[in-house]
Amino acid sequence: MKTFFPLFIVLALLVLTPAKARSVHKKVNVDSLLQAAVEHSIHGRFTESNADFNSLLNDCKLRRKSKAMVENLYIESMFRGMDYKGCYNLMVKSAGKRRADKNEMIKSLAMQPVPYLKRPERDVVIPFDTDSVFSDNEYRGKLITLPTVINGKEERMIFDNGCTLMCTSSNTFAREHNIRPIGANIEIASITTDLTTWIGIADSIVIGDLVFKNVLFNVSPDDAYGKEIPRKAVLGSNIFYMMGEMVFDNRDKTLSLPWNQDCRESNLTMQGNGRHLVEVVIGEDTMQMHFDLGTVSTNLNKNYFDKHKEMILSNGTVKTSSYGGIGGSKTATVYELKDISLKSCGGEYRRKTMRVNPGRKIKYDFDCGQLGNDFLLSFERVILNLRNMYLYIEK
C-alpha cells in the first residue's frame, strides 16, 4: 500500500542534474554518499556547514556538477531528518534563492514549526491491534494499527514505514481532523498513476503517552484509497524516526519504547526513495529485500525470478494476484512457491507458500522482494529502530 514520493526527482530540478558523480581519480558511489547523508541526518549531526559534508566534497575532488548532485543528496537527507529550514537554506546556497523559492513545498515548510516528540522520561507501552486485508475476497494478511488522537479526535491509524518522509491520509480524513494545509501541492507517483496531493501539518498527534507536534502529512484524493486499504490514514516514517527504538511484543500485542535505548549495530540500509533494505537468506542465496510494514505478505520480485527462472517455472503454481495501495491496484500473473524458509536479523521465518511476481517493474535493482508485516508478526519479540537503522529478532 505504497505512495512512492520521488523526492530526489523533485529536488533535482532545483540544482544541476549530472549523469554521474565522478572524482578526478575514481568513481563516486552515489548510493554510499546518500547513505552517509542519511546517517548524518538520522543521528542529528548534520547542519548546512557541517565539516564532514565539506570534507566529503573536498576529498572526492568533485567537479562542479558532481558537487551539485552530492548537495542534492544531502538536501534529501535533511528532509528525512525533518530539518526543513536547513533543507531550504542549503537549497539557497546550492542553487540560489530564486530557484529555491520555486519549490513551494520546501519554501513553505521552512516557515513552519519544527516537528518534535514530547515523551515521559520512562518506558512507554502502547497497545497495538491489527486489521485484516482482503483482495478480491482473498485474505492477504494483517496491518498494524495504533490508537491515536489527532488534533483532539480519536482515530486508529495504520503503522507503515513504507510511507516515506511523511504520514498520509485521504482528503476527507484530513479535513475532518483539521490537518492544516501549508499552501503546497505536489505530484506523486502511485502504483497506477500520478496523483496531485497537498501537504499539510497536524498540530498534534497523541499515541499513548507520546505527543508528536507539527507532523507532516501528504494528503491524497479520497478515491486514491481503494477498498484494499482498511483505513484512510497512515503513520509514516517521520513518526518512526522520532520514536527511536521500538519493541514489538506479539504475545500481548504491545509496542514499547524504552527510555534508555540501546544503540545496536546497524543492519538496515536506505535507498534513494526511503526504502529500507535488509539482508535475507533464502536457501543458498543471500540477498537484499525491502523491509516494508505496509506489505501484508512477504513476496519475491522480478530480480529473484530472473535468477531462478528455471526452478520457478518448473516448481511454481501459476496464480492471478492483485497488488497495490494508495492510487489503485494492478492484477498480475505470479508464481506460487511452496515451503519457503527465510532467515534474517536473527530469526527464521517459514511460509507454506510465497508468491513471485515475474513482471513487476523494479525501480531499484538492489532488492529481490518485499519483507512484509507478516514477517514482523510471526515472532514473539522484535526490536526495530529506524533512527539508528537496525532490526533484530529476539524470540
* pLDDT tens track for 343-364: 999 999 999 999 999 986 655 5
Contact 376, 382 (CB under 8 A): yes
Record the cell numbers describing residue 123, joined without a space. 518506558
pLDDT given for residue 10 in this prediction:
33
pLDDT given for residue 22 in this prediction:
29
Q: Three-state SS string across 322-346, please?
A: EEEECCEEEEEEEEEEEEEEEEECC
E strand or H helix at 294: none
> What average pLDDT does range 181-203 have in this prediction?
83
Record the cell numbers describing residue 251, joined without a space. 504475545
Record the cell numbers describing residue 166, joined without a space. 511523511
146 vs 111: CA distance, rounded Å = 30
pLDDT given for residue 208 in this prediction:
95
Cβ-count burial 316-351 (b if 16+ within 10 Å, e if not): beeeebebbbbbbbeeeebbbbeebebbbbebebeb
| Locus of grid cell 523533485 | 10
Does position 213 have pLDDT exceeding 60, yes or no?
Answer: yes
Average pLDDT, the chain: 79
Does position 12 have pLDDT exceeding 60, yes or no?
Answer: no
pLDDT given for residue 42 in this prediction:
41
308 vs 14: CA distance, rounded Å = 42
3-state helix vs strand vs coil in the chain, percent to 5: 25, 40, 35
256 vs 322: CA distance, rounded Å = 34
Lowest mean pLDDT among 54-58, 235-239, 297-301: 54-58
57 vs 51: CA distance, rounded Å = 10
Record the cell numbers describing residue 200, joined without a space. 499539510
76 vs 65: CA distance, rounded Å = 17
Does position 4 have pLDDT exceeding 60, yes or no?
Answer: no
Does position 316 have pLDDT exceeding 70, yes or no?
Answer: yes
* pLDDT tens track for 75-133: 666 676 777 887 788 778 777 888 888 888 888 988 999 899 999 999 999 999 998 88
Lowest mean pLDDT among 152-156, 191-195, 285-289, 301-305: 191-195
- Residue count (the chain): 395
Domains and CATH numbers, the chain: 7-111 (no CATH), 117-257 (2.40.70.10), 268-393 (2.40.70.10)
CA angle 163, 269, 198 (to 5 degrees): 20
> With bands split at pLDDT 50, 70 and 90, how would you rate the model's confidence at 225?
confident
Q: Kindly report the pTM of this predicted structure.
A: 0.81
Would residue 97 be called left, alpha or beta, if left means φ above 0 and alpha means ψ between -120 and 50 degrees?
alpha
DSSP 4: B
> What average pLDDT does range 358-381 have in this prediction?
82
Lowest mean pLDDT among 121-130, 187-196, 231-240, 332-341: 187-196
> With bands split at pLDDT 50, 70 and 90, how would you rate the model's confidence at 195?
confident
> What average pLDDT does range 284-309 have in this prediction?
91
87-91, 233-237, 359-363, 387-391: range with highest mean pLDDT: 233-237
Lowest mean pLDDT among 66-70, 107-111, 160-164, 367-371: 66-70
